Amino acid sequence: MSSAEKQASEDLHQQMQLLGHAARDAADKLARVDARTKTSALMFAADAMRDSVSTILEANAADMERATKRKLSSALLDRLALDEGRVAAMVQGVESISGLPDPVGSVVDEWVRPNGLRIQRVRVPLGVIGIIYESRPNVTSDAGALCLKSGNAVILRGGSEATRSNAAIHSCLVQGLSAAGLPETAVQRVPTQDREAVGILLRDMSEFVDVIVPRGGKSLISRVQKDARVPVMGHLEGICHTYVHASANLEMARDVVVNAKMRRTGICGATETLLVDRAVSDSHLVPLISDLLEAGCEVRGDEITKKVDARVKHAEDADWGMEYLEAIIAVRVVEGLDEAMAHIRRYGSGHTEAILAEDNAAADRFLNELDSAILLHNASTQYADGGEFGMGAEIGIATGRIHARGPVGAEQLTSYKYVVRGSGQTRPR
Distance CA(386)–CA(406), nearest Å, equals 8
Select from 171-179, 288-296, 309-317, 402-410 the region that touches its own copies (CB under 8 A): 402-410
Q: How far is the CB of 342 from its own copies (least distance, A)?
A: 12
Total number of residues binding its own copies (CB under 8 A)? Answer: 66
- Choose the stretch contacting its own copies; rule: CB under 8 A; options: 14-22, 188-196, 313-321, 364-372: 364-372
> Interacting stretch for its own copies, rule CB under 8 A, among 49-57, 162-170, 174-182, 401-409?
401-409
Report in angstroms how near the CB of residue 306 gets to its own copies at its nearest: 27
CB-CB contact of 246 with 276 (8 Å): no
Residue 192 or 378: the one with the smaller Cβ distance to its own copies is 378
Min dist. Cβ of residue 404 to its own copies (A): 9
Q: How far is the CB of 84 from its own copies (least distance, A)?
A: 15
| Residue 336 φ/ψ region, left for φ over 0, alpha for ψ in the -120 to 50 degree band, beta for the rest | left
Task: Work out whether 389 is an interface residue with its own copies (CB under 8 A).
Answer: yes
Tell me if 232 contacts its own copies by CB under 8 A.
Answer: yes
242 bridge partner residues: 274, 354
- Rule CB under 8 A: is residue 219 a binding residue for its own copies? no
CA neighbor of 235 nearest in space, from 87, 384, 126, 339: 384
Q: Binding to its own copies by residue 287, rule CB under 8 A?
A: no
List the x/- string, 23-52, binding to its own copies by CB under 8 A. Answer: --------xx--------------------
Residue 8 beta carbon to its own copies: minimum distance, rounded to whole angstroms: 27
Alpha-carbon span 201 to 190, nearest angstrom: 9
> Within 10 A of 418 (CB to CB), how many other CB atoms are there?
9
Residue among 3, 226, 282, 310 that touches its own copies (CB under 8 A): 226
Is residue 259 near its own copies by the rule CB under 8 A? yes
Judged by CB under 8 A, the residue of 374, 393, 395, 410 near its own copies is 374
Phi, psi dihedrals of residue 244, rounded to the nearest 5°: -95, 105
Instruction: Single out the segment in contact with its own copies by CB under 8 A; choices: 154-162, 236-244, 272-280, 411-419.
Output: 411-419
CB 150 within 8 A of CB 413: yes
Query: Which window, 117-125, 155-163, 168-176, 334-342, contacts its own copies (CB under 8 A)?
Result: 117-125
Q: Verify binding: residue 218, its own copies, rule CB under 8 A.
A: no
SS3 54: helix
Q: Is 156 helix (H, G, I), strand (E, B) or coil?
A: strand
Is residue 427 a contact residue for its own copies (CB under 8 A)? Answer: yes
As measured in angstroms, the least distance from the Cβ of 51 to its own copies is: 26
Rounded Cα distance, 368 and 38, in Å: 39
Chosen residue from 47, 184, 194, 255 binding its own copies by CB under 8 A: 255
Contacts of 350 (CB under 8 A, 6+ apart): 236, 371, 372, 373, 399
Q: From the centroid of its chain, how far is CA 119?
A: 34
Q: Are 394 and 386 in contact (CB under 8 A)?
A: yes
CA angle 90–131–10, rounded 5-degree value: 130
User: How many whole angstroms separate alpha carbon 397 and alpha carbon 395?
Assistant: 7
Q: Are 161 and 67 in contact (CB under 8 A)?
A: yes
Q: Which amino acid is at 322?
A: M
138 interacts with its own copies by CB under 8 A: no
- CA 327 to chain centroid, in Å, comes to 21
Q: How far is the CB of 2 from its own copies (least distance, A)?
A: 30
Whether the Cβ atoms of residue 30 and residue 129 lie closer than 8 Å to each other = no
Residues 6+ apart with CB under 8 A from 61: none
Is residue 346 close enough to count as binding its own copies by CB under 8 A? no
Interhelix angle 84-99/138-149, rounded to 10 degrees, is: 10
Give min distance, CB of 349 to its own copies, in A: 14
For residue 219, count CB atoms less than 10 angstroms from its CB and return exposed for 0-12, middle for 13-18, buried for 19 or more: exposed
Binder of its own copies out of 36, 218, 229, 314 (CB under 8 A): 229
Q: Segment contacting its own copies (CB under 8 A): 57-65, 160-168, 177-185, 400-408?
A: 400-408
Q: Which of 4, 111, 310, 318 binds its own copies (CB under 8 A)?
A: 111
- Note the residues at the interface with its own copies (CB under 8 A): 31-32, 105, 111, 113, 117, 119, 124, 126-127, 210-211, 225-226, 229, 231-233, 249, 252, 255-256, 259-260, 263-264, 363, 367-369, 371-380, 382-383, 385, 388-390, 400-403, 405-406, 415-427, 429
